[in-house]
């Protein structure tokens, strides 16, 4: 059986992968491509996570695609609406026809002689081993394991008689009505779950080891809705998107450069939504500065409203152990629970867990430097889509796909077969690619590529700077080595 060959293989049919498909067929129409998706559905994160209340934690005008405006009234959208948006996009542009479902990529081997990747995967429930080849590999598979979330070792959990649920594997038939629920965690998932569960549960307790910065935002953007009434569709979309990009950049810069002022603003927002005398210092005053860890957003202050109505409460303490009927904290408090939800984070996995070899030599992502936050040093003809940690993921994903297309066209225009980022200075200072100090990131930071102290090895958290670099700056760079294969071997393209 002949091995199928594509000019480009995209791994992942989530938000990033569908966007990559659009850019490839629009900007590189003469190149064949396929999207390899390990699951049986389009959607990635938005198909995997099905817990109650799941929603975006960024506005949809920037989390949505630049080429397909978000038209719903709500700017903070429910997970089901986002999933429908991604799937509709794939159908509208025919991207779904390029997707190979049930294809889980295991490894990829580069041959400089042939200037191509051989990609090995398991296909279907039978886990049949199949190989494809491609000239360029684009990884849009996210940064965490789809198999399971992170679960710490809790003493006594085996004795607990209630139900333990992780948000990543939420049972469709879980009935939490009139139940006592404890949600362990204080990140985006926890602050989303608590107010939603509180609508039906007897009571919900958010048990956190330490506080997180939480800001309340309206779920509808009144300025955006007004602009859409007065401006043509595409112009309104560009204006709204630009406004929100600048606003998010301003908030981030304020938090980084004037952290004490930002803390006061965040605190005032919390104070006006909670009862007078509430222990804000205990439950909502982190020990770190804003945006040292990811900021949590709550639409219309729903978390604070649930606390104010006494439907939910917050306990800031460490877990001593599980008991038969709940959890005992280190301070001795007993939390009775019929259901415990472990919103304890993700297991980070670089490059979808794929193993790489270049000309027979094993390449570990953690040993590489990230070129423009997109390619890895020593890895020819490969890119990894990494979105922003401080803004909407899709903003950078869009720019990454744009640059990949420019790079592919540059290779064609100059009769090159391969390009490889090379680090000239072996003593270059190493910095983490993911520059947040959240626990789930610190646990896996050494597995990810590093970044350097300056361009092109530094990943910007600045959309405008990246826009200029990815869209307008020259593709050629002294750190990017272009070459031709020594022994051309023609490969038959697949449709």
Q: Are residues 298 and 167 in the same domain?
A: yes
| 53, 193 contact by CB (below 8 A) | yes
Q: What is the pLDDT of residue 399?
A: 96
Task: Give residue 130's pLDDT.
Answer: 94
pLDDT category of residue 487 using cuts at 50, 70 and 90: very low
Q: How confident is the model at residue 262 (pLDDT cuts 50, 70, 90)?
A: very high
pLDDT at 488: 42
Helix, strand or coil, per DSSP, at residue 410: helix
In tens, the pLDDT along 44-64 reads 999 999 999 999 988 999 999
129-187: pLDDT as tens digits? 999 999 999 999 988 989 888 999 999 999 999 999 999 999 999 999 999 999 999 99
CA gap 213, 297 in Å, rounded: 9
Average pLDDT over the chain, rounded to an integer: 93
Last residue of a domain, one of 342, 375, 396: 342
How are beta strands 33-37 and 99-101 bridged, if at all? parallel
* Mean pLDDT score, 357-382: 95
Domain of residue 174, residue span: 161-230+273-342
Task: Please return the burial class of 439, using the count of CB atoms within 10 Å of its CB with bins 0-12, 13-18 and 19+.
Answer: middle
Decide if 22 is inside a domain: yes
Considering its fold, how many domains does the chain have in total? 2
* Cα–Cα distance measured from residue 482 to residue 476, given in angstroms and rounded to the nearest whole number: 9
In a domain, 396, yes or no: yes
Same domain, 176 and 319: yes
pLDDT bin (cut points 50, 70, 90) of residue 209 is very high
Residues 326 and 398 in one domain: no
Residue 257 lies in a domain: no
Q: Are the C-beta atoms of 299 and 55 separated by less than 8 Å?
A: yes
pLDDT tens-digit readout, 234-249 = 899 999 999 999 999 9
- Supply the CATH number for residue 201's domain: 3.50.50.60
Tell whether the model's pLDDT for residue 491 goes beyond 60. no
166 in the same domain as 84:
no
DSSP calls for 264-284: HHHHHHHHTTS-TT--HHHHS
Q: Is residue 331 part of a domain?
A: yes
Residues 170, 120: one domain?
A: no
pLDDT recorded at residue 220: 86
What size, in residues, is the chain?
Answer: 495
Residues 192 and 131 both lie in one domain: no
Please give the model's pTM, rounded to 2 decimal places: 0.93
> 342, 375, 402 — which closes off a domain?
342
Residues 140 and 169 in one domain: no
Confidence band, pLDDT 50/70/90 cuts, at residue 294: confident
- Is residue 237 in some structural domain? no
- Whether the per-residue pLDDT at 121 is higher than 70: the answer is yes
Same domain, 422 and 404: yes
Judge if 184 and 124 occupy the same domain. no
Question: What does the alpha-carbon distance between residue 263 and residue 440 come to, in Å, rounded to a whole number?
Answer: 23
Taking the C-alpha atoms of residue 228 and residue 220, their distance in angstroms, rounded to an integer, is 13
Domain boundary (327, 342, 357) is at 342
Check whether 456 has a pLDDT greater than 60: yes
100 band by pLDDT with thresholds 50, 70 and 90: very high
**Which of 211-221 are b and which e, b meaning 16 or more Cβ less than 10 Å from the residue's Cβ?**
bbbbbbbebeb
pLDDT winner (highest mean) among 115-119, 427-431, 439-443: 115-119
Instruction: Indicate whether 15 belongs to any domain.
Output: yes
What is the model's pLDDT at position 57? 86
């Amino acid at each position: 059986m002949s091995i199928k060959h594509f000019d480009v293989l995209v791994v992942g049919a989530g938000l990033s992968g569908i966007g990559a498909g659009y850019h490839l067929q629009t900007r590189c129409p003469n190149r064949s491509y396929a999207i390899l998706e390990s699951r049986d559905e389009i959607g990635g994160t938005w198909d995997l996570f099905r817990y109650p209340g799941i929603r975006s934690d960024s506005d949809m005008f920037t989390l949505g695609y630049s080429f397909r405006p978000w038209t719903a009234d709500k700017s903070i959208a429910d997970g089901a609406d986002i999933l429908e948006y991604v799937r509709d996009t794939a159908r509208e542009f025919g991207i779904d026809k390029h997707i190979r479902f049930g294809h889980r990529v295991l490894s990829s081997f580069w041959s400089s002689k042939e200037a191509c990747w051989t990609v090995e995967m398991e296909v279907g429930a039978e886990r049949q081993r199949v190989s494809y080849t491609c000239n360029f590999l684009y990884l849009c598979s996210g940064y965490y394991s789809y198999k399971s979330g992170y679960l710490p070792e809790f003493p006594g959990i085996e004795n607990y008689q209630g139900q333990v649920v992780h948000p990543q594997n939420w049972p469709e038939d879980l009935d939490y009505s009139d139940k006592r629920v404890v949600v362990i965690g204080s990140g985006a998932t926890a602050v989303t779950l608590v107010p939603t569960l509180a609508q039906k549960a007897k009571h919900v307790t958010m048990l956190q080891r330490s506080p997180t910065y939480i800001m309340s935002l309206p779920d509808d953007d009144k300025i955006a809705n007004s602009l859409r009434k007065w401006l043509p569709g595409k112009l309104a979309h560009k204006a709204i998107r630009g406004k929100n990009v600048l606003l998010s950049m301003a908030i981030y810069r304020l938090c980084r450069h004037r952290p004490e002022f930002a803390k006061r603003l965040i605190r005032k927002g919390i104070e006006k939504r909670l009862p007078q005398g509430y222990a804000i210092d205990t439950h909502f005053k982190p020990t770190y500065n804003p945006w040292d860890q990811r900021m949590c957003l709550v639409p219309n202050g729903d978390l604070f409203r649930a606390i104010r109505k006494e439907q939910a409460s917050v306990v800031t303490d460490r877990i001593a152990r599980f008991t038969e009927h709940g959890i005992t904290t280190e301070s001795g408090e007993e939390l009775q629970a019929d259901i415990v939800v472990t919103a304890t984070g993700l297991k980070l996995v670089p490059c979808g867990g794929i193993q790489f070899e270049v000309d027979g030599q094993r390449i570990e992502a953690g040993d590489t430097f990230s070129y423009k936050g997109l390619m890895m040093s020593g890895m020819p003809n490969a890119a990894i889509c990494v979105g922003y940690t401080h803004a909407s993921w899709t903003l950078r994903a869009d720019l990454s796909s744009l640059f990949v297309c420019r790079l592919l066209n540059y290779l064609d225009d100059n009769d090159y077969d391969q390009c490889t980022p090379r680090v000239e200075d072996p003593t270059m200072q190493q910095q983490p690619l993911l520059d947040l100090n959240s626990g789930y990131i610190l646990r896996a930071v050494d597995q990810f590529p590093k970044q350097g102290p300056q361009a092109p090895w530094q990943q910007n958290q600045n959309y405008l700077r990246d826009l200029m670099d990815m869209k307008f700056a020259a593709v050629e760079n002294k750190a990017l080595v272009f070459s031709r294969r020594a022994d051309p071997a023609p490969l038959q393209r697949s449709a």
